[in-house]
């Protein structure tokens, strides 16, 4: 009787691991879907070096990019 219970427990654990893996594999495309598709040009803030998508960046003088108006005001470091 205990042997059977152990066998069932092992099978259940194996199935849980299997389905857990399957769910983990299915989650990554969902995570990728959250990001906008297509390549987004990345720029780095001239002040703090933070990388951000170009549409979100604040453009400064000399073609520089900044993460915020505050850093544009502070200028390149």
Per CB under 5 A, residues contacting Zn ion are 45, 47-48, 50, 67, 71
Nearer to Zn ion, 13 or 74 (CB): 74
Closer to Zn ion by Cβ: residue 20 or 75: 75
Q: Give phi and psi for 34, each to the nearest 5.
A: -65, -35
Min CB(28)–Zn ion separation in Å: 30
CA distances from 27 to 13, 15, 38 (A): 21, 18, 20
Of the pair 8, 56, the CB lying nearest Zn ion is at 56
d(CA 57, CA 68): 7
Chain centre to alpha carbon of residue 15: 28
**CB of residue 32 to Zn ion, shortest distance in Å:** 27
**Smallest separation (angstroms) from Zn ion to the CB of 55:** 16
């Amino acid at each position: 009787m205990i042997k059977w219970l152990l066998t069932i427990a092992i099978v259940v654990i194996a199935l849980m691991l299997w389905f857990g893996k399957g769910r983990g594999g299915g989650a990554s495309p969902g995570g990728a879907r959250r990001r906008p598709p297509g390549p987004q040009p990345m720029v780095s803030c001239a002040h703090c070096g933070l990388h951000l998508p170009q549409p979100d960046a604040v453009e400064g003088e000399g073609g520089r990019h900044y993460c915020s108006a505050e850093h544009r005001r502070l200028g390149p470091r």
